[in-house]
Chains A and B, each alone.
Chain A
Amino acid sequence: MKPARVALVLLSAIVPFVWAHAQDGPPANRPASAQAAPTPPPRRGGAGAGGEYKAYDAATLEQGKKVYTANCAFCHGGNAKGGETGPDLLRSLTVLHDENGELISQVVLNGRPDKGMPKFNLPPDQVADIAAFLHDGVRAAAQRGTYKILDILVGDPKAGEAYFNGPGGCTSCHSVTGDLAHIASKYDPVNLQQKVVMPREGRFGRAAGPAAASGTAITATVTTPSGEVVNGLLGRIDDFSVTVTDQSGKPHTFTRDGDVPKVEIHDPMKGHFALLKQYTDADIHNLTAYLETLK
């Protein structure tokens, strides 16, 4: 029916159209796990705007937490999200509008007698430390790219092993004594899970470079009406052309008109994408727990 039908059916893993930006703030991509948390870009002030927040050094933050805990946590909670008597400071307009402690110090030094908050006679450097601690708390909430994935090892390794050898169909490509031997020593649980569930991790471009080397790249076979056959790594493909790069590294581009020329696409990760429609969440958790035993 559709011109490109044959190709499309095979083409499970090709680049998604990425909703360039879903209006949710900066893209949430990367890091793949907590280990690779990026350093926020430096900014002129403490409060944020547009996902940009000042980065404080660890010593300042530690000191800030100490001073905060000693003086503020009793009312505002240990994490500054509010306590029984004091409001959430991470949502406080005073904190959000403060740059370097200038607004926060007003409240600390004068208190809020109308609301029952006493004065705190703290030296300026300690107020600045509190400000740093609070600003970093706001940053930690607002910058989702830095969120840390927690302990995901909740599955049953035995059930995971059964899934691996049974319904998962994993053994048709993988062996725990072969390619997956010691796999758990190479990846932490989060990355290990993502290798299985999202082998291309939603990357914009098609697999190339490292993927080609590791045998996970998408390849295509193009057969022209005259019988010419070209095999190679799949490059760009759309309704009007397809490019494959042969073993010598030479790219071949063909104009497409419906089913001419014939394009067959081979995705080594096809099995992983097929599982997306079959997995239960328990299967994923169990499989992760099992693979994690392969130290």
Chain B
Amino acid sequence: MNLARIVLAIGVTAAPTLLPAQMLDPALLQKQPTDAWPTYNGDYSGRRFSPLSQINQSNISNLKLAWSYKAKPGETPGSQVGGEGAAVKPGEGGGNPFGVSIKATPLMVNGVLYFTTPDNTWAVDARTGQEIWHYFWRTRGGIHIGNRGVGMYNNWLFFETPDNYLVSLDAKTGKERWHKEIADVKQEYFSTPAPIIVDNHVIVGTGGDSLDVPGFLESRDPETGDLQWKWWSEPMKKGDPGAESWPDEYSMRHGGGMTWIPGTYDPDLKLYYVGTGNPNPVMAGQSRKGTDLFTCSIVALDIATGKMKWYFQASPHDTHDWDSAQTPVLFDGTVNGQPRKLLAQANRNGYFFVLDRVTGKNILSYPFLETMNWSKGVDANGSPIPDPAKEPQVAGVLVSPPSGGATNWPPPSFDPETGLFYVGTSASYSVFYLTDTDPHPEGYGAAERNSGGLGSTLRAIDYHTGKTVWRHDFPGGGTAGLLTTAGKLLFAGDSSQHLIAFDPATGKILWHTDLKGSIANGPETYTLDGKQYLVVGAGDSLQAFTLGQ
């Protein structure tokens, strides 16, 4: 639509004529491709909407499994091996204490799928599901909780490791080109994002909440891995913008704000949008009185310099681990009848936000989670006002949502045809007990006990009002990442391992299949040889669906 038209007007730095088979034409990243999935969200907007309609409501019943690939992480015979850690025994390693789960959104470029689990990257033939190569990273440690995938620039792949290296591989062979340490694993940083490539910038974020370290986002050179710019989530000294929101330099320099979900980008405005994590110490706020900028915020950074153009804080002085890292989704819409460049986010704290993405001005803040009980409304800027009585206390306070949030990392979707924003949400309560009463708490500083779930729901939200237009309450739990298509389909999953197609206009279930594995990422789609594929991760397998005859 509007966005795509503008995107096309942007100059392309390199326009190769003859491409080696693996090469990603950078031009692909500047428009919405249908024959590739070249970046984490399919395009820069984060909408996860595909204009493809070969698979549609009329033929969805013919959707069949085309192939399935079972990922075997670890140092297996034939693997490319890298990393700074110790060797592991054959077949071991891959450090997946929570079980193998493909949380990555695979990239598909020129018939090859590239995806990750922590310490592992694969290239798989998108037509057959045959493995082309596997790369294994010998780790030094770090929390092996998930990895969102790779970024691609020409023939180079980039991914991050739990021990905080940015690793570049040759996409053709899986051979390592170089690796660069981006953060210190001994400070409990661990890295999960998929790098996002914009022009000649490799945008890299990180995570880590256990030892009170500052978050950052940085840009690296795709050829050398050298640092181009680094944006810290907090001011680093008195006098810096935002410093007034912290009591002292020491607290801001240990203030958290991790950038662990890939952001989105507007090529016209040349702004990169990313949500920042919660402040640290996570749940004990006594040493960081103030709003703790720019944690729990959506920020817009100049892509060339990393300078912040604007911010919007979603959870001022957060004490419940509600990072605001959820995908900031970009689309062009209308507000009071006027066309506007918008950004919308369903936040972990239970609010749905709509911002003007040019200025960062708040347009709408609406609590979508009915059980939300921590906020006393919103201030003049649209930022929720936290109720101090709901900060963790020694004797316990009951708060909804719990730290896991009203929603979390699984990607939402915006369908320009329905004009609705889709997101999976979860209702629950936790009691938060302050456990560290020291004037200088460290780590989380509080314990949390969860009540159990009050239901999980797929919602279609009207961005004009924030209201849920339709909802599907999953009887037994849902939902993972989402995808909408011009075939008038909305793909989601439930906790019974089903992939489900809904009517995006009404929420009616149109089709489902048993993946025989827990859906772990957001489904994606593309055409190859004229055939539309739907690809989804289910536990340790990657599954591709096409229309049967």
Nearest CB in chain A: distance from B451 CB, A? 4
**B404 / chain A contacts, CB cutoff of 8 Å:** 18-19, 22
Interface membership of chain B positions 471-511, coded 1 if the CB is closer than 8 angstroms to chain A and 0 otherwise = 11111111100000000000000111010100000010100
* Binding-face segment, A58-66, A116-124, A147-155, A244-252: A147-155
Nearest chain A CB to B213 CB, angstrom units: 8
Interface segment out of the listed A6-14, A107-115, A224-232 = A6-14
Q: Which residues of A contact B396 (CB under 8 A)?
A: 149, 152, 193, 281, 284-285
Q: Quick one: CB contact mask for B178-198 with A, threshold 8 Å, 1 for yes?
A: 000000111110101000000
Q: Is the CB of A144 within 8 A of B98?
A: no
Tell me which residues from 63 to 98 in chain A have a Cβ below 8 Å from any Cβ of chain B.
Answer: 79, 81-82, 88, 90-91, 93, 96-97
A125-158 vs B, Cβ < 8 Å mask (1 yes, 0 no) = 0000000000000101111100111111111000
Inter-chain contact B186/A97, CB cutoff 8 Å: yes
Q: Are A202 and B210 in contact (CB under 8 A)?
A: no
Measured between C-beta atoms, what is the minimum distance from A233 to chain B in Å? Answer: 14
Known: A88-B440, A151-B394, A279-B398. A17 touches B431 (CB 8 A): no
**CB-CB under 8 A for A152 and B207, given A15-B495, A22-B405, A197-B431:** no
Provide the B423-444 mask, 1 if CB < 8 A to any CB of A, else 0.
0101111110111111010111
Are A197 and B507 in touch, CB under 8 angstroms?
no
Q: Is B238 an interface residue (CB 8 A)?
A: no
Measured in the bound complex, the distance between the Cα atoms of B366 and A234 in whole Å is 36
Q: Are A147 and B447 in contact (CB under 8 A)?
A: yes
Bound complex: CA A197 to CA B397 (Å): 11
Q: Does B546 interact with chain A (Cβ within 8 Å)?
A: no
Is A19 within 8 A of B431, CB to CB?
no
* Contact, CB under 8 Å: A239 / B500: yes
B411 at the interface (CB under 8 A from A): no
Known: A199-B452, A237-B476, A239-B494. A79 touches B438 (CB 8 A): yes
Give B contacts to A, CB under 8 Å: 97-98, 101, 140-146, 162-163, 184-188, 190, 192, 207-212, 254, 258, 260, 282, 321, 323, 325, 371, 389, 393-398, 400, 402-405, 408-410, 424, 426-431, 433-438, 440, 442-444, 446-456, 471-479, 494-496, 498, 500, 507, 509, 512, 518, 520
- Given contacts A149-B433, A152-B394, A81 and B440 within 8 Å (CB-CB): yes
Chain B residues with CB under 8 Å of A201's CB are 449-452
* B404 CB, nearest partner CB in chain A, Å: 4
What chain A residues lie within 8 Å of B101 (beta carbons)? 20
A56 interfacial contact with B, CB 8 Å: no
A180 on interface, CB distance cutoff 8 Å:
no
Kindly state whether residue A26 has any CB partner on chain B within 8 Å: yes
Contacts of A57 in B (CB 8 A): none
A55 sits at the interface (CB 8 A):
no
A202 touches B479 (CB 8 A): no
CA distance A96 to B186 in the complex (A): 6
State the Cβ distance, A232 to closest chain B Cβ, in Å: 16
Contact of B405 among A19, A141, A147 (CB under 8 A): A19
Judged by a CB distance under 8 angstroms, whether A163 is at the interface is no
Q: Is the CB of B443 within 8 A of A276?
A: no
Q: Does A4 contact B (CB under 8 A)?
A: yes
Minimum CB–CB distance for B88 against chain A, Å: 14
Tell me which residues across on chain A come within 8 A of B395, comparing CB atoms: 151-155, 281, 285
C-alpha gap A153/B190 in the complex (Å) = 37
Interface centre among A19, A97, A198, A281 (most CB of B within 10 A): A19
Q: How distant is the Cα of A153 from the Cα of B456 in the complex, in angstroms?
A: 33
A144–B284 CA distance with the chains assembled, in angstroms: 12
Interface assignment of A203: CB less than 8 Å from any CB of chain B: yes
- The one of A14, A144, A200, A202 that contacts B475, using a Cβ cutoff of 8 Å: A14
Q: A23-B192, A281-B398 are in contact. Are A96 and B187 (CB under 8 A)?
A: yes
Candidates B187, B210, B455; contact of A8 at CB < 8 Å:
B455
A sample of 11 cross-chain residue pairs with beta-carbon separation below 8 angstroms, ordered by A number, consists of A7-B475, A12-B455, A15-B476, A96-B187, A143-B210, A144-B210, A147-B447, A194-B431, A197-B429, A276-B371, A281-B393
The answer to whether the Cβ of A215 comes within 8 Å of any Cβ in the partner chain is no
Q: Are the C-beta atoms of A4 and B475 separated by less than 8 Å?
A: yes
CB distance from B250 to the nearest CB of A (A): 8
Contact partner of A276 among B190, B436, B444, B451, CB < 8 A? B451
Take A22-B403, A150-B394, A276-B454 as given contacts and tell me if A50 and B190 are in contact as well, using a CB distance cutoff of 8 Å: yes
A179 part of interface (Cβ distance < 8 Å): no
Beta-carbon contact of B188 and A49 below 8 Å: yes
Residues of B within 8 A of A144 (CB): 210, 443-444, 447
Q: B98's closest neighbor in chain A, by CB? A: A21
In the bound complex, residues from chain A placing their C-beta under 8 Å from that of B443 are 140-144
Cβ distance B395 to chain A, nearest Cβ, rounded Å = 4
Residue of B nearest to A5 (CB): B473
Tell me whether A52 is interfacial, beta carbon within 8 Å.
yes
B424 to A, closest residue via Cβ: A17
Residue numbers in B under 8 Å from A147 (CB-CB): 435-436, 444, 446-447
Asked if B452 and A49 make an inter-chain contact with CB atoms under 8 angstroms apart, the answer reads: no
How far apart sit A32 and B323, CA to CA, in the bound complex (Å)? Answer: 25
Q: Which of A82, A152, A238, A277 has the most CB of B within 10 A?
A: A238
Does A11 contact B449, Cβ atoms closer than 8 Å? no
Q: A50-B142, A276-B398 are in contact. Are A16 and B403 (CB under 8 A)?
A: no
Cβ contacts A274-295/B at 8 Å (1 or 0 each): 0011010100110000000000
CA distance A103 to B255 in the complex (A): 26
Check B477 against A4 for contact (C-beta < 8 Å): no
- Contact between B454 and A273, CB atoms less than 8 A apart: yes
Which one, A3, A16, A193, contacts B453 given CB within 8 A? A16
Distance A48 CA – B448 CA, assembled complex (angstroms): 23
Question: Is A47 at the interface (CB under 8 A from chain B)?
Answer: yes
Most B C-beta atoms less than 10 A away, residue of A2, A197, A239:
A239
A217 and B491 CA atoms in complex are apart in Å by 32
B245 smallest CB distance to A (angstroms): 21
With A16-B454, A144-B444, A151-B394 already in contact, 4 other A-B pairs whose C-beta atoms are closer than 8 Å: A12-B455, A22-B408, A202-B449, A284-B396
Among residues of B, the one whose C-beta sits closest to the C-beta of A80 is: B442
Interface centre among A18, A49, A197, A240 (most CB of B within 10 A): A49
Shortest Cβ distance from residue A110 to the other chain B in the assembled complex, whole angstroms: 22
